[in-house]
Amino acid sequence: MNKKYFLREDVYFEPLFNNWYMWPYLLSPATAAMNLANHHLRVMKSFVANAKIHELSAASKAMVGSSLMNLSADSAQTVQKIIDRSTSEHAELIEFSKAVKTLNELLMNQAKGCSMEPLYEQIPEILRGYVELHYDLNNQPSFRFIESLLYRSPFYREEAQAISLGNLQSDQRPFVLSTPRLADQNHLHVSVPLNSTFVSELFKMRDTGAEMSEIERLFAGAELEGGLDFKSLFTEDGGSRHQPVAQGEVRVSYLGHAGIMVESDTVNVLVDPVIAYRNDEHDNKITFRDLPERVDYVLLTHTHMDHVCIETLVQLRHKIKTVLVPKSNSGFLPDPSIKLMLNQLGFEQVIECEDLDKFGFMNGFIQAIPFFGEHADVSIRSKSAWLVSVQGKKILCAADSSNIEPKLFDHLHREIGDVDMLFIGMECKGGPLKWLYGPLLTRTISDEENQSRRFNGSDFTAASAIAEAFGANEVYVYALGLEPWFGYFMGISYNDDDVQIVEAEKLVKHCKAQGITSKKLCGKDVFLLHEMSPELA
């Protein structure tokens, strides 16, 4: 029998768009165009003009998460080539971005409450047929994209997609939003669409393995760039480590950041999965080989990249049966459809959920739970917490809920009753408006506006009120970005006196004083709900 080889556990994968790390706003055509024109080109031009300053400044821990490019100064020529390619091959996307600004100016200047029909002739030609104009009931003008058409238009650039593979020597991956990925001696870039069979077959090899002849055939037809030999990505050591759940048991695993896995002997559910890779640096992780061979449901809470992680989802696509996602504000620029994104990535069974929609399965159900806040007061519909009920045990993954209006949770408690486990995010001082939505803005905003509108979750007062409202028996703080191996997308690190940590510790102490099991989660944790949960230190 011929030997089988498995994708190594320390091989990490990055999905790419035009050499930049693919997150949801680089998949949706409209937001991809805005980020390319208003963020990528600006940062790359700054680097080429001031490469040494970027190199020296980006080395400072305090600058992680900034817009400084984390590359050596001698990469300037390579970055200039990406700029040249962007402005030539993706000129339509740059024109699209300019047209969005022009359209906004048109509406602000001329849409004063009268019929918008005469304005259609003034819409920039590149946008005509892709946008609908409208007022709200206060006569405030706006527009929406026909988003499905954009995916079928020249603005969706599947040919700009690629994958990057490398061996993860350290968990300290460079921050992904400020720096393009280069095909250097330590990486292999493969020019394939993310929905390709190449990608699916590659990641199946992590669990099932393949003969070397199969691996060679897979890579033989692909366009490769970079100095890493694809054979070095494989090892004879592999296969799944997953342990099935005993009958009658409910196992809840914390996967890191906002990732939760709920398992029974009949169903496997993942919420906001962001899966770590294994290397010799840290071992307090649940990695791909620890996951079940089948995932019945994936539940996604909102479009931010630490919750809709394309990097993880694409690697799990061959395992996933159904994905449940919140409904978006159809066609609204900052709120692209998660369903359309995932369909484009090759996920066939994606269901868009209304608030309180319920999906039943043997001995349980899943329910979409609305939450407020965490989106800098931008009108974002695509956000949903999730209630998972298995064998009578209720687990509420509340994501980054901000308790702006406590009455919401009073109403919700009447609907769902008490819960056994509450997972709550406490990024109570998040980034300012422009940190995420800056490339989408078409007018200058004041510093006061920018700083006052933040991606805030709950502080102690808000989170403790949510826990009390649902009568939670166990309360866990998650989604703070505490795991060092997730710094590449969080771009933050905390000190003990930072407000997020202080508020989280206050919640844990308060809950324990009330006889409620509580913990600030980091790394991995596993809970068995058929038994009384042990008191956690």
What domain range includes position 120? 91-150
Final residue of a domain: which of 124, 150, 176?
150
What integer pLDDT is reported at residue 530 of this predicted model? 63
Do 103 and 64 belong together in one domain?
no
What integer pLDDT is reported at residue 534 of this predicted model? 42
How far is the CA of 435 from the CAs of 23, 175, 262, 441, 450, in angstroms? 14, 14, 32, 11, 9
Residue 537 belongs to some domain of the structure: no
Do 329 and 407 belong together in one domain?
yes
In degrees, rounded to 5, the angle at the alpha carbon of residue 68 between the alpha carbons of residues 85 and 308 is 75
Do 143 and 187 belong together in one domain?
no
Residue 371 belongs to some domain of the structure: yes
Instruction: Give, rounded to a whole angstrom, the gap between the first and last alpha carbons of the chain.
Output: 50
C-alpha dihedral sign at 530, 274, 269, 353? positive
What HEC string does 393-446 produce? Answer: EEEEECCCCCCCCCHHHHHHHHHHCCCCEEEEECCCCCCEHHHHHHHHCCCCCC
What integer pLDDT is reported at residue 403 of this predicted model? 83
Q: Report the residue count for the chain.
A: 537
Residue 242 belongs to some domain of the structure: no
Do 86 and 105 belong together in one domain?
no
Separation CA 295–CA 240 (nearest Å) = 14
What integer pLDDT is reported at residue 532 of this predicted model? 40
Residue 101 belongs to some domain of the structure: yes
Do 366 and 428 belong together in one domain?
yes
Residue 246 belongs to some domain of the structure: no
Q: How many CB atoms lie within 10 A of CB 370?
A: 16
Do 405 and 501 belong together in one domain?
yes
Do 346 and 217 belong together in one domain?
no
Residue 103 belongs to some domain of the structure: yes
* Residue 499: CATH number of its domain: 3.60.15.10
| Residue numbers of the chain with a pLDDT score lower than 50 | 531-537
Task: Provide the number of structural domains found in the chain.
Answer: 3
Do 132 and 22 belong together in one domain?
no
What integer pLDDT is reported at residue 537 of this predicted model? 35
Residue 240 belongs to some domain of the structure: no
What integer pLDDT is reported at residue 226 of this predicted model? 95
Do 62 and 186 belong together in one domain?
yes
Do 345 and 448 belong together in one domain?
yes
Separation CA 317–CA 2 (nearest Å) = 27
What integer pLDDT is reported at residue 171 of this predicted model? 79
Do 388 and 518 belong together in one domain?
yes
Q: Is 341 helix (H, G, I), strand (E, B) or coil?
A: helix
In degrees, rounded to 5, the angle at the alpha carbon of residue 54 between the alpha carbons of residues 52 and 59 is 105
What integer pLDDT is reported at residue 533 of this predicted model? 43
Residue 534 belongs to some domain of the structure: no
Cβ atoms of residues 103 and 132 within 8 Å:
no
